A and B are shown apart, each in its own frame.
Chain A
Amino acid sequence: MTDHSMNDHQLDERANRNRLMKRIALRLGLYTLLILFALYYLMPLFVMVVTSLKSLDEIRTGSLLSLPREIDFSSWGKAWSGACTGIQCNGLQPYFWNSVLLSIPAVAISTLLGAINGYVLAQWRFKGSNILFALMLFGCFIPFQVVLLPMAITLGALKIAGTIPGLMLVHIVYGIGFTTLFFRNFYVTIPQELVKAAKVDGAGFFRIFFSIFLPVSPPIIVVTVIWQFTQIWNDFLFGVSFSQAGTQPITVALNNIVNATTGVKEYNVDMAAAIIAALPTLLVYVVAGKYFIRGLTAGSVKG
């Protein structure tokens, strides 16, 4: 080896080191930005939690972002069973159960209908079935304001205005579009030959659905159930339009607590109530985030 090539070698090394430094700086900047964004997204949750654990005194004197000096759970108790939603002061509890009572059957029925509709639209197509699918899908996208008035009249005519079954009907009807979309897009990926084989084997429409298609469906059932549950639990428009004092879902009750004009503004109770209202869907998100995201993206990108 000559001196000359030694020099080259050293130069190379320096260039390499420079490149490495630049890379490290870039990565550092990247991670810093990502963490800053994470803090931005977490901040409201953090503020909600710490505020709910502070006393009213501390809220008035302390800082929004500071940790509570003394942890005080009393606002949670009040939010659950004592906060006022207008004239009644039973907290969120009854409305929480309203939402549970409302969402379980509504989710189950709309998912079942979506499954069977999706099965027909993917595997038993007939003339015009694609147009029918497009018409169903369009129903997902309408601004619901356009159906509020006739729905109110219809619920009244059916004598279920202001009842939980009435609200359930609304959620089922306007949920079918999405649940059908989910199942259809899942079932079209299954080769049509499966139905043919089963037909030759002598199985009929329902037998094929229950013996062959339903058993492969758990992933899409999870996605659909999570989607529908989140939609129904978080709904406010239908809840506020079609319920009355005793039958309101939790979002409406939360809004009433926060906007109650009587008495002192209890920010800690508001925050505790907000967290309680958010807990079920947050829990679902944490436990089954993968399916939650799949539902979100499936709802917007069609195959």
Chain B
Amino acid sequence: MSNAMKKEMATPQTAKNILAIENLDKSFGSVKILKDINVAIEPGDFLVLVGPSGCGKSTLLNCIAGLESSTNGDIRIGGRSMTGVSPKDRDIAMVFQSYALYPTMTVGKNITFGMKVRGVAEQEQQRKLDEVAKLLQIDHLLNRKPSQLSGGQRQRVAMGRALVRDPQLFLFDEPLSNLDAKLRVEMRTEIKRLHQTLGASIVYVTHDQIEAMTLATKIVVMKDGVIQQAGTPNEIYNQPANMFVADFMGSPSMNLIPASAEKQGDATKISITRPDMEDIVLDFDREIEGLKSGKKSVILGLRPENITDSTNQHITKGQIADCRVDVVEPAGSDTFVVTNLAGKQVTARLNADATIIAGETASFAFDLSKASVFEPETGARIA
């Protein structure tokens, strides 16, 4: 990543940042887990740390919680430096992947344990417990043991335990990954609703890019301990900073097609070579970084929804090209069509009622207004 980009990404540190992480490094022995992490969020932000497993996102969360110490750099919560501050004094609450409910305590005791440790008055404990139990609709479960609860109920209890703390910052460590698909979607909505009603500041770790897109006000994409991109879901989705982000975010993921860009006077053309059919040549209406004149190989990034059925009435822009259809995958609301461009599988997203047959040739509309262009060597975005 270039220095220029790093500067651009680093969010300015202001007094109203609820969480600010500056130049954070973390190593285990000689292995660097986190490298030069800079993140800041404002009150009410929902920050999602997303990345493949082993990217360091959970370590980063543990560093914020104070459960692991960082090697270099500083973490500030509510403007206060957290160096040497133990987890209990950080004014945070945390929800874990396995829920980490205390197995021998009832639901009520689980929720009030933290207050009990802190010596909060009995009455106050009860009041807060009632309040949170009502909010999460777990009032009828308070006398049960965790082993008697369903996965979704445990999840609620774990959130209840965090909510009673009423902390400056909530930390969620993959809280939905132990739930089945249906429940996960329900709880996702629930978490989003809680965030909206409470206006809480949240840092949320997940490997699921859909969770990241749906929940976040701000996303940080990580890989190998390095922040790849930080931005709003919209920015991350539409202007991925590099090929990793482009590929990781979105499902089905972005098509990354080897192509060559050519400057012809004022116009820029992108062409995709095909062994068995004639080349596809497309007009591109933006500047490509580093292409002043002549030819250059690039990677063209096109989301499936930007390759559509040419007969679709709603598509006014887009350039038509014929492609052979390899596989047709109806998905109910859409139909995905797989074709082959420049030796790569390319997915197009068509209307559900598209009449298209595998093995035949069909014409597709390519919308390059939302396309990304990447440098093949570095993977960095150049347009």
Contacts and interface: CB of A to CB of B under 8 A. Distances in A.
Assess A/B contact in the complex (Cβ within 8 A).
yes
Interface of A: 191, 193-194, 196-203, 207, 211-212, 215-216
Given A193-B100, A212-B104, A215-B104, A200 B117 contact: no
B247 to A, nearest CB: 30
Nearest to A215: B104
A196 B104 contact: no
A200 B97 CA distance: 15
Given A194-B100, A212-B102, A201 B92 contact: no
Given A191-B98, A193-B97, A202 B104 contact: no
A202 B117 CA distance: 6
A194 B146 CA distance: 13
Interface string B60-88: 00100101000000000000000000111
A201 B103 contact: no
B161 to A, nearest CB: 8
Given A196-B67, A216-B104, A203 B117 contact: yes
B202 interface: no
Contacts of B87: 196, 199-200
B113 interface: yes
Mostly helix, strand, loop or mixed at chain A's interface?
Answer: helix
A232 B93 CA distance: 47
Given A200-B87, A215-B104, A193 B96 contact: yes
A199 B96 CA distance: 13
Mostly helix, strand, loop or mixed at chain B's interface?
Answer: mixed
B113 A201 contact: yes
Contacts of B92: 200
B94 interface: yes
A212 B100 CA distance: 11
Nearest to B86: A199
B102 A207 contact: no
Interface residues of B, number: 23
A193 B98 contact: yes
B118 interface: yes
Contacts of B104: 212, 215-216
Interface in B125-163: 161
A213 to B, nearest CB: 10
19 contacts: A193-B97, A193-B173, A194-B100, A196-B62, A196-B87, A196-B96, A198-B102, A199-B87, A200-B65, A200-B88, A201-B88, A201-B161, A202-B117, A203-B88, A203-B114, A211-B102, A211-B113, A212-B104, A215-B105
A202 B100 CA distance: 15
Contacts of A194: 100, 102
B102 A200 contact: no
A193 B96 CA distance: 7
Contacts of B98: 191, 193
A98 to B, nearest CB: 38
- Most-contacted residue by chain B among A197, A198, A199 (CB, 10 A): A197
A201 B65 CA distance: 11
A202 B93 CA distance: 10
A203 B112 CA distance: 12
A202 B120 CA distance: 12
B88 A197 contact: no
Contact of A199 (B67, B97, B103, B105): B67
Contacts of A200: 65, 67, 87-88, 92-94, 114
Contact of B117 (A191, A193, A207, A215): A207
B169 to A, nearest CB: 11
Given A193-B98, A202-B117, 18 more contacts: A191-B100, A193-B173, A194-B100, A196-B87, A198-B102, A199-B87, A199-B88, A200-B65, A200-B87, A200-B92, A200-B94, A201-B114, A203-B88, A203-B117, A211-B102, A211-B113, A212-B104, A215-B105
